[in-house]
Amino acid sequence: MTERKDDRLWGGRFEGEPDAQFDRFQRSFAFDRRLLAYEIAVDRAWAKALEPVGIFTASEVRQTLAALDKIAERAKSDPAWIDSFGANAEDVHHFVEKALVEELGPLGWKLHTGRSRNELIATDFRLFVMDAAGETERGLENLLHAFLMQAKANLGVPMAGTTHLQHAQPILLSHFLLAHAEAFTRDVTRLEHASTGADACPMGSGALAGNSFAISRNAIAKELGFSRITRNSVDAVSDRDFALEYLFALAGIATHLSRLAEDFVLFASQEFSYVTLPDEYSTGSSLMPQKKNPDSWELIRGKTGRITGALLGLLTTLKGLPTSYQRDLQEDKEALFAAHDQIRDMVAVATGALEFTKFNAERLRAAASNSALLATEAADYLVRKGIPFRQAHDLVGKILREAEKQKVPWTALPVDTLEKISPALESDLVKSLSVDAALDAKRVAGGTAPESVRTAIADLESRLNKRTIKTGAKA
């Protein structure tokens, strides 16, 4: 076999050397080395697929697999070798081929028969996204367990529910916590969808036209753990919808974490004093000794922009590309890798901060006991006496306006004042109103009544237990 003049994957067509700055600019090994384990797995599957079609002998397959195993083991045990040996590698594919040639000589070049880096990177990247989505799911399950623990521990604690950040109606703190939990369960569903989208094997697509050696694409897919193969070779090498779907799922998680963070930043302020921040997830001030800052939540809130930016960046990269593979697609990985790592850390920090937060039950109940929060209950009282709700709403508004004029809580207005507004407002009105009665009235499924919230807690616990059994995830 003729010796090659260089080890580039594409050098034969060129006489001159690439510009040094451009050469550095176009290399991707600095970040796609993260896909090394997937690349080696794909190489193993490809080596096996080349034997039935007569490209590899059984001996060559064994030699190639042994060399790939040796490369994988060395990469695992000696990370510095990756740095030194990969110093001149263009990308992860080039790195492995260089290492194979070092082990096997010219046989190392034979593995690339009938395949392209276009399909290789698409396959490696899909495998990464499938694993990454699973890792993120497990992180969210831990977060959901923290919500479940706090919801159970604080079931009897009411709080002032708000809309427009204004006190609205009493709700249970557990109901509030479960509201956040529901958002994260939707994120789990989106992660599952992203994983399913990635679960199609492109190998056999070539650069764009397919493979000329009648390899078994289904056998390769099965070997790699894919449930199916891609349907069209042109689409297969250029499709990055699975990456968009994963980034969209991550952006949803980040958005929900940011909203949770905003709530806890507010709750930790002296004006609210709803929570006591855990020392383990707080910092102090370099100047003011009394400060205890919610930096864990603020950093979570601040990092959300990175995740959204990664999604928008990939959307922008993809929007103007001609059909089939374009080198622009090299820009699909760095931001996704970074977004995955950030979300992993954000979820872990949020889980710990939530788990160790202490809620100020006395303060929360005091806020929930503001008589203004019972105004809707007064309207419901009138409805039960046969007054149309819109009219009842108007009458209660007049009560509140009168209380404001007298500068007293509306529940302190004398009965004769109430009767002047409406004869239906009798002495039993105020006696029938309380935080506990308001909570208990909301027994509808999904409502804030203790009975309904207990059911919701049991439902979340059941869903989590089923997921733990299914995935083997640890709570």
Residues labelled as active-site residues: 164, 285
Q: Which two tokens stand for residue 113?
A: 């028969």
Calculate helix-pair angle for 117-153, 92-104, nearest 10 degrees: 120
Q: Which long-range contacts (CB under 8 A, 24 or more apart) does 375-378 make?
A: 375/399, 375/400, 375/410, 376/169, 377/433, 377/437, 377/438, 377/441, 378/429, 378/433
CB 331 within 8 A of CB 381: no
For the purposes of burial, counting CB atoms within 10 Å of the CB of 85, is it exposed (0-12), middle (13-18) or buried (19 or more)? middle
Q: What is the spatial distance between Cα 444 and Cα 452, in angstroms, rounded to a whole number?
A: 7
CB 250 within 8 A of CB 310: yes
Place of tokens 């001609």: 322
- Nearest partner of 446 among 434, 433, 459, judged by Cα: 459
Residues 6+ apart with CB under 8 A from 437: 377
- Nearest partner of 185 among 468, 464, 458, 448, judged by Cα: 464
Q: What is the spatial distance between Cα 240 and Cα 315, in angstroms, rounded to a whole number?
A: 10
Alpha helices in 269-372 (DSSP H): 295-319, 334-356, 361-368
Side chain identity, residue 206: G
- DSSP assignment string, 219-279: HHHHHHT-SSB-S-HHHHHH--HHHHHHHHHHHHHHHHHHHHHHHHHHHHSTTT--EE--G
Report CA 43 to chain centroid distance, whole Å. Answer: 30
Q: What is the spatial distance between Cα 121 and Cα 73, in angstroms, rounded to a whole number?
A: 21
Q: What is the spatial distance between Cα 264 and Cα 142, in angstroms, rounded to a whole number?
A: 19
β-partners of residue 170 are: 160
Place of tokens 């809620």: 359
- Nearest partner of 364 among 160, 94, 165, judged by Cα: 160
